[in-house]
Amino acid sequence: MKNTMEYQGYVGTVEFSEEDRVFFGKVLGIRSLLSYEGTTGEELINDFHGVIDDYLAMCKEKKMKPEKAYKGSFNIRISPDLHKKLAIQAIANNMSLNSYIEKTLNAAIA
């Protein structure tokens, strides 16, 4: 069982409250708080889809650009020494630092 689900490019959590006997979750990676719930898995999925559909409809109605959770860029803080080592490796591989780090990260999760 996985603890996330995806719809229209948005990822949401899946949790269960034993006390309330309800599944619930929230959309990850955006500032807007979009939450959903259901007493069955099917209800949870339907509510998740409905929340995303409602959010996109509201954005369209208000002529707002919907937030995207994973834009393909993020900032990290590393030591100057590690930064230097990565830059040297990128140059040695005839790659940009960005391309080298992307390749390295892809290898790490493969």
For the residues 6-32, what does the mean pLDDT come to?
A: 95
- pLDDT digit string (tens) for 41-63? 999 999 999 999 999 999 999 99
Quickly state the pLDDT bin for 1 (edges 50, 70, 90): low
Query: What is the length of the chain?
Result: 110
Tokens describing residue 45 = 């999925």
25 with 14: CB under 8 angstroms? Answer: yes
Query: pTM of the predicted model, to two decimals?
Result: 0.71
Cβ(25)–Cβ(17) under 8 Å? no
How many other CB atoms sit within 10 Å of the CB of residue 25? 23
Query: Where are any strands of DSSP class E within 1-110?
Result: 4-7, 10-13, 15-17, 22-26, 35-38
